[in-house]
């Protein structure tokens, strides 16, 4: 029995000394494993007389239980220590500043399209759209620019090599005016001879033109009102009301200057009074006043009777006015940007500076952009 007691003391000391779960497992096998000394001691019971066995068995079982308890206790201790070490190693320092994540912004053109749509919606205008890949009938012919019309050449058109199904030519639309035609045709198809229309059509247009003030792709908004007894006074009031709301100024003065467009008669160019502040043009005031001048913002006029007719309207019953404005231009004026090309470079620094936060204001851009 002295052997057993010595072995037990040695084993308990070894168990107390181990520092890892692996080393503890070694100690368990050495004592309680199949060939461990406790197991071997238990096996000796078989060869004993009943009297010897009665004396030896409880002593060996007591040693076995003491060793097993010591191992369980040490195991629990080592596992807790391991967990604590892991928690300490994984600790997060919540006081560290978080890295800045890049956040997208609304492009000024999208922002301005939203503003346009909102202001014109207040005046009862719906947003209409048409394809950017157009045929030459909708882009030119129906707008009173037949094949030999010199205004066609002014448009520097991007043509597609393949002919349209009807034999015409396909092109990238050079202006938003074909949306006028498509809208009138749709309305005339449902209402024999015509019906009132009040739409704007914002979107991309394309011309083979590139310099400091021209990009091959740019944005226009077309406006179209058709009704009975419409005249130029309605056009002027509508544009004036729009520009006052858009530029957020009451002192907007418009000048309608006689001009020529094939699709309007009479035609006018729309100028707005402005002054220079530093190197920035600021809209407002009468262009003929001291320190002021006029700047062209777009074209407009009364829809030509031939254009109404080509889209299925009876010009004897219906009149209308139309206008076309450069969206990029009015965006630059409103938000003080002076290089058009920067609009389309996609430089994140420019966008971070001039872009609009999607969270500051409700925006329609997903809607308008998706349909344009
Ligand atoms: N479509 C013309 C252009 O791109 C602009 C324009 C002028 C549109 C007069 C109109 C209009 O609706 O009445 O140059």
Q: Is the pTM of this model over 0.75?
A: no
CA of residue 203 to ligand 1 center, whole Å: 13
Q: Could you state, in order of their start, the residue ranges of all structural domains in the chain?
A: 2-89, 108-361
> Is the minimum distance from the CB of 261 to ligand 1 under 6 angstroms?
yes
> Is the minimum distance from the CB of 235 to ligand 1 under 6 angstroms?
no
pLDDT tens digits, the chain, 372 residues: what are they? 458 889 999 999 999 999 999 999 999 999 999 999 999 998 998 899 999 889 888 999 999 999 999 999 999 999 999 999 888 888 778 888 888 877 788 999 999 999 999 999 999 999 999 999 999 999 999 999 988 887 787 778 999 998 877 788 999 999 999 999 999 999 999 998 889 999 999 999 999 988 878 899 999 999 999 999 999 999 999 999 999 999 999 999 999 999 999 999 999 999 999 999 888 889 999 999 999 999 999 999 999 999 999 999 999 999 999 999 999 999 999 988 888 888 999 898 999 899 988 776 655 544 343 333
| Rounded Cα gap, residues 76 and 74, in angstroms | 5
Please tell me the CATH code under which domain 108-361 is placed.
3.30.930.10
Distances in Å between the alpha carbon of 38 and those of 11, 26, 49, 67? 10, 14, 19, 9
| Rounded Cα gap, residues 328 and 351, in angstroms | 15
> Is the minimum distance from the CB of 324 to ligand 1 under 6 angstroms?
yes
25 close to 74: Cβ distance less than 8 angstroms = no
> Is the minimum distance from the CB of 322 to ligand 1 under 6 angstroms?
yes
- From 298, 325, 329, give the residue whose CB has the most ligand 1 atoms within 8 Å, as the site to mutate: 298
> Is the minimum distance from the CB of 321 to ligand 1 under 6 angstroms?
no
| Rounded Cα gap, residues 214 and 339, in angstroms | 10
CA of residue 318 to ligand 1 center, whole Å: 20
Q: Which among 243, 208, 205, 222 has a CA at the least distance from the CA of 330?
A: 243
| Rounded Cα gap, residues 106 and 356, in angstroms | 5
> Is the minimum distance from the CB of 299 to ligand 1 under 6 angstroms?
yes
Residue whose CA lies nearest to ligand 1 atom number 5? 324
> Is the minimum distance from the CB of 264 to ligand 1 under 6 angstroms?
yes
> Is the minimum distance from the CB of 273 to ligand 1 under 6 angstroms?
no
Residue whose CA lies nearest to ligand 1 atom number 12? 323
> Is the minimum distance from the CB of 175 to ligand 1 under 6 angstroms?
yes
Half-sphere exposure of 223 (CA within 13 A, CB side): 28
- From 156, 299, 311, 327, give the residue whose CB has the most ligand 1 atoms within 8 Å, as the site to mutate: 299
> Is the minimum distance from the CB of 300 to ligand 1 under 6 angstroms?
yes
Q: Which among 175, 205, 171, 201 has a CA at the least distance from the CA of 186?
A: 201
């Amino acid at each position: 029995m002295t052997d057993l007691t010595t072995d037990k003391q040695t084993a308990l000391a070894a168990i107390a000394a181990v520092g890892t779960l692996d080393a503890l497992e070694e100690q368990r096998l050495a004592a309680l494993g199949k060939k461990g000394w406790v197991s071997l001691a238990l096996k000796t019971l078989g060869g004993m007389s009943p009297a010897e066995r009665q004396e030896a068995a409880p002593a060996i079982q007591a040693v076995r239980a003491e060793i097993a308890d010591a191992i369980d206790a040490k195991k629990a201790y080592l596992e807790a220590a391991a967990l604590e070490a892991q928690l300490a190693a994984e600790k997060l320092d919540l006081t560290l500043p978080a890295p800045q994540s890049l956040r997208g912004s609304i492009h000024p053109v999208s922002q301005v399209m939203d503003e346009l749509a909102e202001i014109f919606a207040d005046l009862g205008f719906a947003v209409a759209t048409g394809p950017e890949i157009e045929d030459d009938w909708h882009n030119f012919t129906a707008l009173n620019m037949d094949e030999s019309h010199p205004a066609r050449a002014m448009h520097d058109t991007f043509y597609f090599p393949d002919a349209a199904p009807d034999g015409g030519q396909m092109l990238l639309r050079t202006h938003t005016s074909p949306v006028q035609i498509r809208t009138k045709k749709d309305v005339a198809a449902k209402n024999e001879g015509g019906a009132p229309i009040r739409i704007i059509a914002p979107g991309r247009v394309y011309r083979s033109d590139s310099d400091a003030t021209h990009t091959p792709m740019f944005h226009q908004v077309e406006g179209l009102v058709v009704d009975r007894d419409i005249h130029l006074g309605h056009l002027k009031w509508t544009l004036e009301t729009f520009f006052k709301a858009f530029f957020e100024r009451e002192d907007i003065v418009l000048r309608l200057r006689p001009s020529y467009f094939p699709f309007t008669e009479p035609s006018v160019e729309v100028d707005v009074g402005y002054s220079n502040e530093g190197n920035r043009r600021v809209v407002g005031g009468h262009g003929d006043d001291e320190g002021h001048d006029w700047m062209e913002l777009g074209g407009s006029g009364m829809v030509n009777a031939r254009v109404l007719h080509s889209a299925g309207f009876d010009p004897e019953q219906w009149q209308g006015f139309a206008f076309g404005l450069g969206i990029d231009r009015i965006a630059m004026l409103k938000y003080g940007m002076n290089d058009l090309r920067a609009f389309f470079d996609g430089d994140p620094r420019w966008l971070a500076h001039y872009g609009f936060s999607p969270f500051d204001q409700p925006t329609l851009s997903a809607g308008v952009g998706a349909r344009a």
